[in-house]
Amino acid sequence: MSYSTSWKLYREARLSRFLTSFLPCLIAGFSISGSAGAEGGEVQATPPNILLIVADDLSPENFGFHGGERIRTPNLDRLASIGVVFENVWTTPMCMPSRAQILSGSNASRTGIWHNQLNVRPDGKNPLEYARYHPTIPMQLKEAGYRTALAGKAHAIGTGIPGTTNLNPSKAGYDEWSIYDSSGELAEAERWETEGTPPGFRGPVASRHWQPSVYENGEPRPTTPDDFGDDLFADFLLDFMERSAEQGEPSIAIFMMNLPHTVAGGRPNLPTTPLSGRPGSNREGTFEECVAYIDVIVGRMVDRLEETGILDDTIVVFTTDNGDVGYGKAFIVEQGARVPLVMIGPEEHIGRTGRSTALFSLADLLPTLCDWAGTEVPASNEIDGRNYAPYLRGDPTPPRSWLYSYLGTGAAIRDAEWVLEAYDPIGGHEGRLYRYLEPGGNILDPGRKLIPADTTDPDALSARANFVEILEEAHRFDLDNPRVVRALERYGEAAWPHRLDPVSPRPTR
């Protein structure tokens, strides 16, 4: 039985349950048309199509497949049950460096994007134009014959950022795009989150959720008060994938979601969603509703891919860009860096199913996607990511033995047994060392033990020394370079500097 068939059976069972439930408002959020569409199953694409979904500011413990009980996420839970779930996945604890890491397969020591407000390269090149100097997912797959598209919160695509004149997604390898423009200038926005300029922004902030500010294929896209941002972006990508399939071309669709990111300009600052049953507000929603609607959107996208016969030839990857606000985002600690990762796809590409404790960095997506696409995987001296495609096909040995995260001048690092977080030699912090209660564990499962700073345990001393040796190479700032020194001085005035304090994960129940 293919995973597409498995999803279809689940979808039919889910529909039956929903039609008899007491939550009819949820039905509108799902695509509930009949079985696989006309000519379903006849669309073939080799290599596989790829749908990469990245939600915003969302820790693993919010999802049922990671033990969360507060919010129902049935669609993502189902994907997890028929695909592979990675338990130990790290990125950076903030959106811009995280997106740059995903798209470039490289860490900040290569791209220069250390933080939303610390972007510097010793070579003097513009970090925000990293696509000119490094491989990127869309550029690599475009060379392999893929059609490429981006939708949602672009933020750091490698050719500038929204609202700047040098923003041009086509130069970063995208054939099509529909992106949120926070400046509102390129999109000619009509609805705003702020009147003034919040700390850390260049000017007033345009709406990202209801009546969003959208810049699409080089033109402003008019939106109405009835339009919800992530719905528009999801539909844009689905249309793109369907058109590509009709033309017999493989496609990669990258969805950088807005949800559940807060709006700018004070609290309460989460939107309502279409789950509320009417066009809504950018400021009266709840975190729980936002997460539930992410699940609805993912379910709707997979449903439509299944109905149009595309799903059997498609790999779906779901992850997030960093931990929850207040529970890890901006903190250079494990729960800031740790994110969920679910993959489903044709068996020849993802033969492994179930749960994996292998260490995975979101930088590993680029080389893995290159392997799936049948194109050359960049060498390790070009990128920091590692190719997990052989492991996903069934190779018993994952290619990575340690994970590294960074934000500003802070860093964290772990292997199967130990984790060092809140390390910041420029700030004078040696970091906190923990030992996992079981090898391959993490902060939630089954937990970890803090090692005293004055420990004489030789194993702990050895682990710290090994980590510091790696970080001296991976997490380097050239303090003899005036350009780097000036950037660090400016970063000292950042509106949202990295945090080193201990912080508890969001409760799962």
CATH number at residue 32: 3.40.720.10
**Rounded Cα gap, residues 3 and 126, in angstroms:** 43
Q: For 153-176, how does the pLDDT look when each residue is reduced to its tens digit (9 = 90+)?
A: 988 899 876 656 567 899 999 999
Could you tell me the two tokens for 82? 């028929």
Together in a domain, 307 and 389: yes
Together in a domain, 308 and 169: yes
Q: Are 3 and 344 in contact (CB under 8 A)?
A: yes
Together in a domain, 110 and 147: yes
Together in a domain, 151 and 274: yes
Could you tell me the two tokens for 14? 């889910």
Q: How many Cβ atoms sit within 10 Å of the Cβ of residue 259?
A: 27
Predicted pLDDT at 163: 59
> Which of 29 and 279 is assigned the larger pLDDT?
279
First to last CA, the chain: 34
Confirm whether 30 is domain-assigned. Answer: yes
C-alpha angle 287/409/444, rounded to 5°? 45
Q: Which one-letter amino acid corresponds to residue 204?
A: P
Together in a domain, 369 and 430: no
Confirm whether 298 is domain-assigned. Answer: yes
Among the listed ranges 45-54, 138-147, 220-229, 395-404, which one has the minimum average pLDDT value?
A: 45-54
DSSP 64: G
Mean per-residue pLDDT of the chain: 90
Note down the domain range covering 462.
Answer: 410-476
Q: Are 264 and 193 in contact (CB under 8 A)?
A: yes
Is pLDDT at 23 greater than 50 in this prediction? no
HSE toward the beta carbon, residue 226, CA cutoff 13 A: 0
Predicted pLDDT at 25: 42
CA dihedral 299, 300, 306, 309 (to 10 degrees): -150
Is pLDDT at 56 greater than 80 in this prediction? yes
Question: How far, in Å, are 36, 90, 169 from residue 217 at the CA level?
Answer: 30, 32, 8
Q: What is the mean pLDDT of residues 143-148?
A: 97
Domain-terminating residue out of 354, 380, 401: 401
Together in a domain, 146 and 18: yes
C-alpha angle 120/217/302, rounded to 5°? 95
User: Confidence class of residue 40 from pLDDT cuts 50, 70 and 90?
Assistant: very low
Confirm whether 488 is domain-assigned. Answer: no
Q: For 319-328, how does the pLDDT look when each residue is reduced to its tens digit (9 = 90+)?
A: 999 999 999 9
Predicted pLDDT at 34: 30
Domain-terminating residue out of 340, 368, 401: 401
Confirm whether 366 is domain-assigned. Answer: yes
In our burial notation (b when 16+ CB lie closer than 10 A, e otherwise), range 99-128 reads bbbbbbbbbbbbbbbbbbbbbbbeeeeebb
Percentage above 70 pLDDT, the chain: 89
Q: What is the mean pLDDT of residues 56-84?
A: 95
Q: What is the mean pLDDT of residues 136-152?
A: 97
Predicted pLDDT at 201: 80
Is pLDDT at 277 greater than 80 in this prediction? yes
Domain-terminating residue out of 372, 401, 430: 401
Confirm whether 35 is domain-assigned. Answer: yes
Q: For 434-477, how does the pLDDT look when each residue is reduced to its tens digit (9 = 90+)?
A: 999 999 999 999 999 999 999 999 999 999 999 999 999 999 99
Together in a domain, 344 and 431: no
Greatest distance between any 2 Cα atoms in the chain: 69
Confirm whether 482 is domain-assigned. Answer: no
CA nearest neighbour of 379 among 391, 390, 371, 367? 367
Together in a domain, 373 and 454: no
Is pLDDT at 21 greater than 60 in this prediction? no
- Domains identified in the chain, total number: 2
Predicted pLDDT at 167: 77
Together in a domain, 361 and 444: no
Q: What is the mean pLDDT of residues 119-125?
A: 93
Is pLDDT at 120 greater than 80 in this prediction? yes
Together in a domain, 388 and 418: no
Percentage above 90 pLDDT, the chain: 82
User: Confidence class of residue 3 from pLDDT cuts 50, 70 and 90?
Assistant: low
Q: Which one-letter amino acid corresponds to residue 354?
A: G
Backbone angles phi, psi at 60, to 5 degrees: -60, -35
User: Confidence class of residue 10 from pLDDT cuts 50, 70 and 90?
Assistant: low
Q: What is the mean pLDDT of residues 176-195?
A: 93
Categorise residue 422: left if φ over 0, alpha if ψ from -120 to 50, beta otherwise: left
Together in a domain, 132 and 64: yes
Confirm whether 492 is domain-assigned. Answer: no
Together in a domain, 372 and 424: no
Confirm whether 508 is domain-assigned. Answer: no
